[in-house]
């Protein structure tokens, strides 16, 4: 999708601006209101100004837009506000405002600045490494012995590739990423700054002399189209691979232990921690801060609520929440019961005070 540019009032520069009618055409939206409305930024509704385009996905946001200064909004069909001025404002009605927002953001987000094609003079590339000439290699990148770096890979400043590492075609590793020995990245993998792929797993044997480190002889396998957030760590397997399946998206500050097997199309949100040998089925979603015990299996399309502690296997398609995690309906019943604990405790205290008096009265009544 192309982005229309309208000249700014200052002839020495231009700023991106969009007319409502042009946006409607680009988004395949139904235009309601003035086609002449011009916006120059895309903002969330609570931050929208008098030249902001914003988005409405439900009735709550619809009511809020009528009170906001935003002159133009993309709105999911059926959520249009009741009262607004079509002479001064515009609505772009679509089937799904979130999908329209994604399309628009793709058009207006500036591309990440990449190094030029070739290797920066400060890059250290082992002579035995195989690096495609189309690659872009930034300052102070280190590429170890027998690495394979395929076509159109981008390695930003201070990326480090260990011996025999493989980076698939079209992948991009942002500044400071470390890929340890023998680890393999598929095609179009995106890894954000300071992530570490292939550190040793956390395994020790207790002895009278203290913990003894267990060697981890495996590797990490990242399949095609995976995205990995900043400062995430994925440990190598003890035997064989730690695997992340095709199309999975992993947020920042996630810890994935040795020999985990993560399926395709999963979502793992920030600050999750997966112990060793956890299995996550295709399409599962782990919300922020989830912790998972070692050797637990999360079924395909299962969902785990934020800050949950998972101690047991979760069946396919189920939603679990809580600490410890339980099926969501059970956890909600427990929480509802907890809110009544003060009332129940008061009733118990009244009962225990009354019981001795009742016993005494019964005893006196039974005396001759």
Question: In what helix (H) or strand (E) does residue 310 lie, and over which residues does it extend?
Answer: strand 309-310
Catalytic residue set:
258
Q: Which residues face 148 on adjacent strands?
A: 130, 166
* C-beta atoms surrounding 298 within 10 Å: 28
**313 vs 232: CA distance, rounded Å:** 24
Burial 330-366 (b: 16+ CB within 10 A, else e): ebeeeeeeeeeeeeeeeeeeeeeeeeeeeeeeeeeee
Give the residue from 312, 257, 253, 319 showing the smallest Cα distance to 286: 319
- DSSP string of 76-125? ETT---SS--TTT-EEEEES-HHHHHHHHHHHHSPPPP-PPSEE-TT-EE
């Amino acid at each position: 999708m192309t982005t229309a540019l309208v000249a700014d009032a200052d002839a020495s520069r231009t700023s991106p601006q969009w007319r409502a009618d042009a946006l409607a055409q680009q988004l395949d939206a139904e235009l309601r209101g003035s086609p002449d409305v011009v916006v120059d930024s895309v903002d969330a509704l609570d931050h929208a100004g008098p030249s902001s385009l914003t988005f409405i996905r439900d009735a709550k946001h619809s009511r809020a837009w009528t009170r906001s200064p935003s002159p133009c909004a993309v709105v999911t069909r059926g959520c249009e506000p009741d009262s607004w001025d079509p002479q001064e404002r515009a609505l772009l009605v679509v089937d799904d405002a979130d999908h329209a927002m994604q399309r628009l953001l793709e058009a207006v987000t500036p591309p990440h600045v990449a190094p030029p094609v070739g290797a920066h003079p400060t890059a250290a590339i082992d002579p035995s490494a195989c690096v495609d000439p189309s690659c872009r290699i930034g300052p102070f990148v280190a590429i170890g012995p027998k690495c394979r770096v395929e076509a159109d890979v981008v390695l930003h400043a201070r990326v480090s590739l260990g011996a025999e590492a493989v980076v698939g075609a079209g992948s991009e590793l942002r500044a400071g990423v470390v890929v340890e020995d023998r680890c393999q990245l598929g095609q179009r993998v995106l890894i954000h700054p300071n992530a570490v792929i292939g550190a040793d797993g956390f395994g020790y044997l207790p002895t009278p002399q203290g913990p003894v480190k267990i060697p981890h002889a495996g590797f990490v396998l990242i399949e095609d189209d995976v995205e990995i957030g900043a400062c995430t760590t994925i440990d190598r397997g003890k035997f064989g691979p730690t695997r992340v399946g095709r199309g999975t998206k992993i947020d920042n500050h996630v810890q994935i232990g040795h020999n985990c097997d993560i399926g395709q199309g999963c979502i793992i949100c920030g600050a999750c921690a997966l112990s060793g040998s956890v299995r996550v089925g295709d399409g599962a979603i782990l919300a922020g801060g989830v912790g998972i015990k070692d050797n637990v299996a999360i079924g395909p399309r299962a969902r785990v609520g934020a800050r949950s502690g998972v101690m047991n296997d979760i069946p396919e398609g189920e939603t679990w929440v809580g600490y410890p995690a339980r099926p969501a309906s059970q956890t909600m019943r427990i929480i509802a019961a907890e809110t009544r604990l003060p009332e129940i405790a008061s009733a118990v205290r009244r009962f225990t005070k009354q019981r001795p008096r009742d016993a005494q009265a019964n005893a006196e009544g039974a005396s001759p």
